[in-house]
Amino acid sequence: MREWLCDSLVATGAAILLFSFGLFILIMVAAVPTNNPYIGVFAFLLMPIPLVVGGVIFILGVLMSRARQRGEQP
C-alpha cells in the first residue's frame, strides 16, 4: 500500500475521493434539520461527480502503477 501512495496520480485520486466523501457526509449531517430543497440537489446530483472522478483517478493510478511495476521486472 505504501508503494501505491508514492505515485502522485494515486495520491491525488485518493485525496479527491476522501475529501469529497467527507464533504458529502458533512453536508448530509448538517442538512438534516433544514428544509432547503437545493441541499438535496447539491447532495444527490452534484456531489457524486467528485466521488466518481476521484475513484476513477485512483483506479487508473493503481492500474498504471501495476503496469509500470510489471514492466520493470524481468
pTM greater than 0.75 (yes/no):
no
Distance of CA 20 to the CA centre of its chain: 6
CA 17 to chain centre: 2
pLDDT at residue number 11: 82
Residue 6 has pLDDT above 80, yes or no: no
Provide the pLDDT for residue 66.
81
Integer Cα distance of 43 and 56 in angstroms? 20
The answer to whether residue 21 scores a pLDDT higher than 70 is: yes
Three-state secondary-structure class, residue 31: helix
Task: Give residue limits of the domains in the chain.
Answer: 2-69
